[in-house]
């Protein structure tokens, strides 16, 4: 097993910077997810860890040892490509054991390890079956078996579920998490899907335009996003952003949104300028009557979407259009005038000068 430490890791392709001076440490046994939009540098980072790409500068340490210039094959790290591709002309046993046979390991060891992995994935009774006739779930397990049979120090996975439909993705996410629980190997998993990231990760590393913006457990990334980008990228529907004003200084506990004072949690940091951006998630807004004392903002209902036990209410206010997630018991109709109250402790203020959240 392995700890992976990334120090000042930088990768430029000519003028273009794909990864900018990244720093983070992936703990031994951790399920670490790299999340970000297409082109943000996740894959490039992963390829540098795997030894498939040489960094422009910076270091990669595996269990404290500098492996920056070591070949991929000498790093004992397994790179898992998309998990769905099996060798169709081979049976289950041949598929799983393939990486070991390539390494020319003794037949007894190949047999033993293949069967061990098959038991782990609960497909040991399928070993002699051709892969063509298997259910999709079993095919995925075979693919997974082939990926882990090598017993590497760490597994790197680049959108391994990318080609699957939604239902199987969910199944495979569960399967991967279960497997990780059983073998406990350090896993670095790349995805652009925030739901996948939230449900699988011990910690998430959010990247945008080559930069690492935050590394934290899913709940912290959701509740205490480090930047406006992180806040907007995670959560669906997205966080609402409202323009605000007020020279928010340490200790001050309210901020003005279109002329109304909104109570804020006390912060330790202040703003650079007079402007601020207030971030509030749809589930942290309460809809009440327009005359409510504790509702600083008023607005008119623009639309209501039913979503099972909840409803998503769109409200137009002086400060802009907001999405509110409300219980189904709330009766509101289009055009109705309502008051909006924010859950004070859940509000986040961003400095528009830096896009960073104030703490
Ligand atoms: P995706 O999910 O689309 O793969 P990503 O976050 O994994 O996105 P990368 O593949 O790491 O992003 O790419 C980051 C940026 O670096 C992209 O703009 C890409 O075009 C660029 N890039 C990657 N490899 C090369 C290369 N060999 N030469 C030039 N530019 C490259």
- List the chain domain ranges: 4-230, 239-350
Nearest CA to ligand 1 atom 27: 13
* Top-confidence residue, 271 or 37: 37
Q: What is the pLDDT of residue 85?
A: 75
**Phi, psi angles (nearest 5°) of residue 336:** -70, 145
pLDDT at 354 over 90: yes
Is 80 exceeded by the pLDDT of residue 82? no
Higher-confidence residue of 266 and 223: namely 223
42 CA distance to ligand 1 middle (Å): 8
Average pLDDT, stretch 330-344? Answer: 93
Check if the beta carbon of residue 294 is closer than 8 Å to that of residue 286.
no
Confidence tier at 261 by pLDDT (50, 70, 90): confident
36 alpha carbon – ligand 1 mean position (Å) = 12
Specify the length of the chain in residues. Answer: 359
CATH superfamily of 239-350: Nucleic acid-binding proteins (2.40.50.140)
**Mean pLDDT score across all residues of the chain:** 91
Rg (CA), the chain: 25
**Is residue 38 scored above 70 in pLDDT?**
yes
> What's the whole-number mean pLDDT along residues 144-161?
87
- Tell me the backbone φ, ψ of residue 332, rounded to 5 degrees: -135, 150
- Between these two residues, 183 and 62, which has the higher pLDDT value? 62
Comparing 4-230 with 239-350, is the CATH topology the same? no
Which ligand 1 atom lies nearest to the CA of residue 47? 11
Least-confidence region, from 46-60, 122-136, 211-225: 122-136
Q: 190-199, 237-246, 286-295: which range is least confident on average?
A: 286-295
pTM: 0.89
Residue 113 Cα to ligand 1 midpoint, Å, equals 36
Residue 246 has pLDDT above 80, yes or no: no
Centre of ligand 1 from the C-alpha of residue 4, in Å: 22
Q: Pocket residues for ligand 1 (CB within 6 Å)?
A: 13, 16, 18, 36, 38-44, 192
How much of the chain, in percent, has pLDDT values that exceed 70? 97
Distance from the alpha carbon of residue 336 to the mean position of ligand 1, in angstroms = 48
**Residue whose CA lies nearest to ligand 1 atom number 12:** 39
Average pLDDT over residues 89-97: 95
CATH fold of 4-230, please?
Answer: Rossmann fold (3.40.50)
């Amino acid at each position: 097993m392995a700890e992976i430490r990334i120090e000042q890791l930088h990768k430029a392709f000519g003028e273009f910077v794909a990864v900018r001076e990244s720093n983070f440490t992936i703990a031994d046994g951790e399920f670490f997810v790299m999340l970000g939009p297409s082109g943000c540098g996740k894959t490039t980072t992963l390829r540098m860890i795997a030894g498939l790409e040489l960094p422009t500068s910076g270091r990669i340490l595996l269990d404290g040892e500098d492996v920056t210039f070591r070949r991929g094959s000498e790093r004992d790290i397994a790179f898992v490509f998309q998990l769905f591709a099996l060798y169709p002309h081979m049976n289950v046993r041949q598929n799983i054991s393939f990486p070991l046979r390539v390494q020319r390991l003794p037949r007894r060891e190949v047999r033993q390890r293949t069967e061990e992995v098959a038991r782990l994935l609960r497909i040991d009774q399928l070993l002699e079956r051709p892969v063509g006739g298997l259910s999709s779930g079993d095919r995925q397990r075979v693919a997974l078996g082939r990926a882990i049979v090598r017993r590497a120090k760490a597994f790197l996975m680049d959108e391994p579920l990318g080609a699957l439909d939604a239902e199987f993705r969910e199944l495979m996410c569960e399967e991967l998490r279960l497997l990780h629980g059983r073998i406990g190997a350090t896993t670095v998993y790349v995805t652009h899907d925030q739901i996948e990231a939230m449900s699988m990760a011990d910690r998430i590393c959010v990247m945008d335009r080559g930069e690492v913006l935050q590394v934290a457990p899913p709940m912290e990334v959701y509740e205490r996003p480090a930047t406006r980008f992180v806040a907007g990228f995670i959560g669906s529907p997205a966080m609402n952003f409202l323009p605000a004003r007020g020279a928010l200084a340490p200790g001050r506990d309210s901020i003005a949104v279109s002329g109304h004072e909104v109570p804020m949690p006390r912060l330790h940091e202040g703003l650079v300028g007079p402007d601020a951006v207030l971030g509030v998630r749809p589930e942290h807004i309460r809809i009440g009557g327009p005359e409510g004392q504790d509702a600083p903002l008023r607005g008119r209902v623009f639309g209501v979407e039913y979503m099972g036990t909840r409803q998503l209410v769109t409200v137009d206010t002086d400060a802009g259009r907001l999405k509110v997630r409300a219980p189904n018991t709330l009766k509101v109709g289009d055009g109705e005038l309502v008051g909006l109250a924010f859950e004070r402790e859940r509000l986040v203020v961003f400095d528009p000068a830096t896009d960073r959240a104030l703490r």
